[in-house]
Structure 1
Amino acid sequence: MRKLVLTLSLLSVLLMGHAQTIPADTLSPDMASDSLMADLLSDSSVTDQPLLPSKMIFTQRVFWGPKGLLRVTDIAPLTPEGRAHELKIRRTMLVSHQVMGFVTLAGFVAQGIVGAQLYHATGDRYRQLLDVHSALAAGVNITYATTALLSLTAPPKMLSERRGYSSIKLHKYLAVAHIAGMIATNVLAGMLESNAELKPYHRAAAYFTFGAFALSIIAIKF
């Protein structure tokens, strides 16, 4: 168990070391979108170019779609100038999304270390570790939700996603996995007090969630 905890800690440190290189690698699709938007603003002959991609996720369509909340309320009119500003907002939100991802990953590691000690603790030591573990769980849930919302509600890019394999698609598939794992981990945590036999399943769900989350960061960075 100690070797596993040390491995998880090392992985977190290595990933945090790459945090400063986020914008250049992960936002290149948006760079292309910016270039296309610049063409739209400077060349009146391409005004028939759609301002929104043909495919958007539900949360983006709710806010940023042609009839989204920000459109119908006239907070963000759908114009070339407006879309140029939205792409800048998108870039800021995605950088924040990845920074919060590293914060969440560090929280996962800390929670795993405390959780491993909690399984073998008794008496006052158990209660102390349980309080720490619960506080870390609350913090991780907050940072995890913030990380997800920054991505899900960011303005859409200019172009639809290309067909075929990409690191972005792998990142999204892994996101589905760690979201499911996060839900399972929290549900099982709430059931532990009345059914201690669920501890191995709770731990397995937590390790699965951490693994999928870490791999999603690796996929986008490497």
Structure 2
Amino acid sequence: MRTRMIITLLWLGSFSQTWAQTVSADTIPPVEKTDDLLSDLDDSTSQQALLPHKMLFTQRIFWGPKGLLRTTNLAPLTPEGREKELKIRRTMLVSHQVMGFVTLAGFVAQGLVGAKLYHATGDQYGRLQNVHSSLAAGINLTYVTTALLSLTAPPKLVGERRGFSSIKLHQYLGVVHMAGMLATNILASSIENHPELKPYHRAAAYTTFGAFALSVIAIKF
């Protein structure tokens, strides 16, 4: 009797152990698979955090997840790579500010020469016209350089804060002085054949200078 009881208990214990192993194997995922899933989740989260959600169109062309520098593997999207990109961004934005001051000085000089040009006659008009044209070429060069240094800089790590800020004011004024710059150049090329456009050219130039000067002040304060 005792022998049968012992055999029965041993059989029940063996059956329950086998059943528990079967259930755990069917219902609990392997540790390795769970770790892989968490690893993929961590990788996905870190990839998303490397770039801000919103970027300028010109930044996305070069630095976006599928930008030219990513697809050509010149700037792989990695945490280490983003650290280097942020240093490049800082250098480009400092250069952007320096070139902005150079361009602003050119605007001031161009305004002074332009004011004299409106009342000049004879040989003086010819000399001032040459200076005016040379200054215009220099300003166009520094202006485009200033804009490209900002528009093509690597994006920052996080998105912008909501609400109004000096950076957004700087950007809004940038739209104004860029439109004014285009209008000024277009009108300048038409003045020779249409002298009646001079007042509009001067108004566009002053508007461009005012918006550009305010944008420089906004970014400093």
TM-score category by the smaller chain? 0.7 to 0.9
Q: Tell me the residue number matched to 1:52.
A: 51
Amino acid at match of 2:202: R
Query: Mapping of 1:166-181 within 5 angstroms?
Result: 166-181=165-180
Shift of 1:110: 0.4
Task: Point out where structure 1 has 5 or more consecutive residues left out of the alignment.
Answer: 1-44
SS in 2 for 1:56: coil
Q: Tell me the residue number matched to 2:91.
A: 92
SS in 2 for 1:67: coil
SS in 2 for 1:179: helix
Q: Tell me the residue number matched to 1:117.
A: 116
Tell me how far apart the structure 1 counterparts of residues 148 and 141 of structure 2 sit (CA, whole Å): 11
Within the alignment, does 1:132 sit opposite 2:126 as a pair?
A: no
Amino acid at match of 1:195: H
Within the alignment, does 1:148 sit opposite 2:186 as a pair?
A: no
Q: Tell me the residue number matched to 1:32.
A: none
Query: Mapping of 1:1-222 within 5 angstroms?
Result: 48-49=45-46, 50-222=49-221
Amino acid at match of 1:96: S
Q: Deviations over 1:42-78 (max 9, x none)?
A: xxx9762310000001000000000000000000000
Tell me how far apart the structure 2 counterparts of residues 193 and 202 of structure 1 sit (CA, whole Å): 12
Tell me how far apart the structure 2 counterparts of residues 57 and 188 of structure 1 sit (CA, whole Å): 29
Tell me how far apart the structure 1 counterparts of residues 137 and 127 of structure 2 sit (CA, whole Å): 16
Q: Tell me the residue number matched to 2:11.
A: none
Shift of 1:162: 1.2
Give structure 1 regions of 4+ aligned residues with deviation exceeding 3 angstroms: none
Task: Point out where structure 2 has 5 or more consecutive residues left out of the alignment.
Answer: 1-40
Tell me how far apart the structure 2 counterparts of residues 195 and 173 of structure 1 sit (CA, whole Å): 32
Tell me how far apart the structure 2 counterparts of residues 72 and 220 of structure 1 sit (CA, whole Å): 33
Amino acid at match of 1:53: P
Tell me how far apart the structure 2 counterparts of residues 53 and 188 of structure 1 sit (CA, whole Å): 39
Q: Tell me the residue number matched to 2:29.
A: none
Q: Tell me the residue number matched to 1:17.
A: none
Shift of 1:183: 0.4
Tell me how far apart the structure 1 counterparts of residues 203 and 179 of structure 2 sit (CA, whole Å): 13
Q: Deviations over 1:3-55 (max 9, x none)?
A: xxxxxxxxxxxxxxxxxxxxxxxxxxxxxxxxxxxxxxxxxx97623100000
**TM-score normalised by L of structure 2:** 0.79
Q: Tell me the residue number matched to 2:12.
A: none
Flag the structure with larger Rg: 2
Percent identity between the aligned chains?
76
**TM-score normalised by L of structure 1:** 0.79
